[in-house]
Every structure is written in structure tokens, then in C-alpha cells.
Amino acid sequence: METSVSNVVCSINFGQRFQYDDPCFRKLVQSIYRFSEIGTNASAVNYFPILRRLPFPELKEVYEIEKTMKDFMYGMIENHKNTKKPGINRDLIDGYLHEIDRRKEEGLNDEASRSFNEVYLYHTLSDLLFAGTETESTLRWGILYMIKFPHVQAKVQEELDSVVLGDELPSWRQRNKLPYTEATLMEVQRMANITAIGFPHKTTEDTQLFDYFVPKDTSVFINLYSVHVDPTQWSNPDEFNPERFLTEEEKVYNHPALMPFSAGKRACPGENLAKMQLFLFFSAILKKFRLTTTPSNPNPSLEKHYAISLCPSPFEVCAYPR
């Protein structure tokens, strides 16, 4: 699943998808997931950066991963520099390189123009690849909830079968006719809380927020988890219940307190892409397979496992073709 989800971002970044057994692509994807794991584990060096001078084994691995990422991305950038054509944007790299050229030709030297360079391009490409892992974690939660709550899975499949006929796969255009499937994904996102405290931000000036004074340069985290379990917003917040996102007329109810992509100026820019990916992957899997627990692990845990996002702990699943 990691490779198929990452391939979507690859087609935006590099204008191409990779074969799932391509060794370079596999290495890149494995590096991204491993990096997320190491970057958030309990190692002392993650909390006291000064310790990076000591020979921590994780650090050696991080530097190796960084090299893998850099070799791959700069190789792609170099290749695009040699093959790009004026006025044609095959992908994000082309668009970015053209913007660097334009700003140079126009002699622009403001702060924004100086930030258009290959180092920023490398970081933009890797940020997007890392961000794509959020979608994959959400899908894993979706599968876990479906095997834990087979009656919900059966209802999703009943709805899918009534709208998506024969051997076809669900399409994005059909989602309006699949409210229960959409509501299930919303409930998965509320329960999973994969970005429970968003990303860290810092106040750029003294700020008064209702009764609270927040001085300049304070680190600020938005507690999305608390919003998603707030009993003033949700009845029985600990219960997995997709129906809470349906109106009496069985239409999707966009509850204002559901905000897995956060809010405000720094909210997730990948929200629309992620929603599309989640819907298409989740509905295609459930259309084609009945998912169950395995005899060796009949009651998988819903405990969260902390990587860059909150993932489910590893679990087994049986997928029977439908």
C-alpha cells in the first residue's frame, strides 16, 4: 500500500509512476517510512540535539536515508534540467525550475525570489513525499476499523454494490451517491486522529487569544485530538459510529468539529488530494475484497503507534476476493 500511495505524489513531483518492484523506488519509499519512525522515537538525541555529536546508531541510519533521498531527488532534478522545454510543465519540478529561471531573468532578488532555488526544491519534493504517508496511515486505520466492525464493512459494501456495478471500480464522481462510505471515512479520520497535535508553529508576535496571552516566539501546537473527542461536540465520542456523519435524509453531514486537516492559513494544502486518494483506495479495496481478522490475531488492538503520524500498531488482515 505504501508504494501505491507514494506513487500518486511521485506522479505530481516527477511526472511519472514507478513499477512497484523498481528497486530505487522501493528503497526511496522504505527510507521515507523508516525516517518517520526514527524521527519520532524516544531516542535522547531527538530531544537534545546537542547529542548528535555522539555516535548514535539511529543517526548513522538517518544520514544514510538522507543520502538515499538526496541522490534520488537531485538525480530527478538534474534529469529535468536537461530535458525541460520552455512553457511546458510536465510536473512540479518543471514548474519550479521555470519559476527559478523566470525570477533570475527578471533580476528579482527579494526574499521570496532568493528562496526559489534547488535546495528548496529538494525540500519541497521530500515534504510532499513525507506528507503522503499521512494518507497511507489513514487507510491502514480504515482497514483496521473495517475488520473490527464487520457490520460497518458490510454496510459500506452493500452501498458500493448498489452504485458501482459489475467489475467496475468506484470513481470520484460516484462519491455523491455513496454517503455511508464517505461517512465511514470521516469517522475513521475522527477516531484515528493521525495528526493529533498538528505540526508545531511559533507566534511571530505577542498575541491575545480570547483570555490567553501568548508571547512572541512561543511554540504552539493545535490539539486536534481534543476537538475530535470533545463531548460537547460529539455524543459518545469514544464510539465508532459513521451514522453521526449522516443527516436524517441519509446525506453526508459535514460536522464543523471534524478537522483532521487542521484549520487556518497553515492547514494542510494536500486536503483535497488526500480526500480523493482516501475515497478511491478505500472504496476500491472494499469493493473488491471482504476483509477479516486472522485466526492468529482475532482481536487486533486499536492502540496507536507513534511515527510522524499516529499509525495503528501492526496487525494482520485476510482479504477474500468478492
Q: What residue ranges bind ligand HEM (CB under 6 A)?
A: 9, 127-128, 131-132, 134-135, 138, 194-195, 198-199, 222, 260-262, 266-270, 273-274, 278
Residue-wise DSSP of 239-297: S--GGGGB-TTS-B---TT--TT--STTS-TTHHHHHHHHHHHHHHHHHHEEEE-BTTB
- Cell numbers placing 27: 528503497
Closer residue to ligand HEM (CB): 63 or 120: 120
- The distance of closest approach from Cβ of residue 190 to ligand HEM in the complex, given in angstroms and rounded to an integer, is 11
- The distance of closest approach from Cβ of residue 268 to ligand HEM in the complex, given in angstroms and rounded to an integer, is 3
Beta bridge pairs of residue 208: 213
Q: What letter would DSSP give residue 217?
A: T
Beta bridge pairs of residue 219: 202
Please count the other Cβ atoms lying within 10 Å of the Cβ belonging to residue 270. 18
Closer residue to ligand HEM (CB): 163 or 252: 252
313 phi, psi to nearest 5 deg: -65, 155
Closer residue to ligand HEM (CB): 121 or 268: 268
Euclidean distance between CA atoms 263 and 135, whole angstroms: 18
- The distance of closest approach from Cβ of residue 19 to ligand HEM in the complex, given in angstroms and rounded to an integer, is 21
Euclidean distance between CA atoms 11 and 87, whole angstroms: 19
Decide: helix, strand or coil at residue 213: strand
- The distance of closest approach from Cβ of residue 277 to ligand HEM in the complex, given in angstroms and rounded to an integer, is 7
DSSP E strands: which ranges in the chain? 201-202, 207-209, 212-214, 219-220, 289-292, 304-306, 310-312, 318-321
- The distance of closest approach from Cβ of residue 164 to ligand HEM in the complex, given in angstroms and rounded to an integer, is 22
Closer residue to ligand HEM (CB): 170 or 270: 270
Using CB positions, name the residue nearest to ligand HEM: 270
- The distance of closest approach from Cβ of residue 2 to ligand HEM in the complex, given in angstroms and rounded to an integer, is 13
Closer residue to ligand HEM (CB): 273 or 316: 273
10 in a known ligand binding site: no
Closer residue to ligand HEM (CB): 86 or 200: 200
- Residue with grid cell 523506488, as numbered in its chain: 25
Which segments are annotated as binding site? 268
List, as residue ranges, the binding site for heme: 268
